[in-house]
Structure 1
Amino acid sequence: MKKEVIGRCPVCNNELDVTRLHCNYCNTTIEGKFSLCKFCKLNDEQKYFVEVFIKNRGNIKEIEKELGISYPTVRNKLENVIEALGYSPKYTPKIDKKEILTKLSTGEITAEEAVKLLKE
């Protein structure tokens, strides 16, 4: 079973380069410096969100339903992916502190997401 290529260094979290490619069929090996696609640089949670987003054709209501999260959380996850792909976020969620703490206590968002929301 083949392992998926990781896009970020597990030590410092910087982007990784691929330096060797190999064909199992003809045994050809190519060495050099190759960059990974933008999507390879997403973490597993971001990749899963993108998959759900595409499967639901970007329909936020369906994404909310499938993931069991609220509209602001869907928007935050989308903005997180947009930033990870190297684009500037345009959406600034308007969410109150009490709602953030409620979502944190119910497990709807992670502590990391709560901190990020509270800093906005």
Structure 2
Amino acid sequence: MSERVRAAGPQHEHRAPSACPVCGDRLAVTRLGCGTCGTELAGLFAPCDYCALDDRESEMLRVFLASRGNLREVEKHLGVSYPTARARFNDLLRKLGLAGAEEAPSAPNRDQILSEVASGALSPDEAATLLAQL
């Protein structure tokens, strides 16, 4: 983004929603605009699968790519157990539509979740969500 656009536009960017707040279907990009000159383009544009990732998923993908696919490195960087790193990676693959049908969800067990809360690698809210899924 150019300095001129930053100065003229908002000081922070917001992530565009990916799902319709009414029906839950995926939203389509239909308008693009230039913050500098005001030019607008209207049409139906191809969606960006990676743009729909939340901050945690984007971080997982960034760390995975930076570690060249080494889940042990991902585990160390994120401060989680190997099963949790693998589960997050599998969740990311599923969200992107890249998981094979034979791949079963690999969620951490109760003891792993509680251990990660105790070590500070997992927040109590995240743990509660994971425990509710067991």
Could you say which TM-score interval applies, normalised by the shorter chain? Answer: 0.7 to 0.9
1:20-45 deviation line (CA, Å, top 9, x unaligned) = 11245665321122232110111111
Distance of aligned partners of 1:108 and 1:24 in 2 relative to their CA distance in 1, 3 Å threshold: closer
Instruction: Provide the identity percentage.
Output: 31
Compute the displacement of 1:114 (Å).
Answer: 3.1
Structure 2, unaligned runs of 5 or more: 1-5
What TM-score comes out, normalization by structure 2 length?
Answer: 0.68
Q: 1:21 aligns with which of 29, 32, 40?
A: 32
CA contact (8 A) 1:7 1:41 kept: yes
**Counterpart secondary structure, 1:99:** helix
Matches within 5 A, 1:1-120: 1=6, 3-9=13-19, 11=21, 14-24=25-35, 27-88=38-99, 90-93=103-106, 95-109=108-122, 110=126, 111-116=128-133, 118=134
1:8-27 deviation line (CA, Å, top 9, x unaligned) = 24846542221211245665
Structure 1, unaligned runs of 5 or more: none
The structure with the larger Rg is 2
**Counterpart secondary structure, 1:63:** helix
Letter in 1 for 2:16: I
User: What CA RMSD, in Å, does the superposition of the two structures yield over aligned residues?
Assistant: 2.8
Number of equivalences: 117
**Counterpart secondary structure, 1:69:** coil
Q: Which has the higher contact order (CA 8 A, sep 6+)?
A: 1
What TM-score comes out, normalization by structure 1 length?
Answer: 0.75
In structure 1, distance between residues paired with 2:130 and 2:46: 29
Compute the displacement of 1:4 (Å).
Answer: 4.9
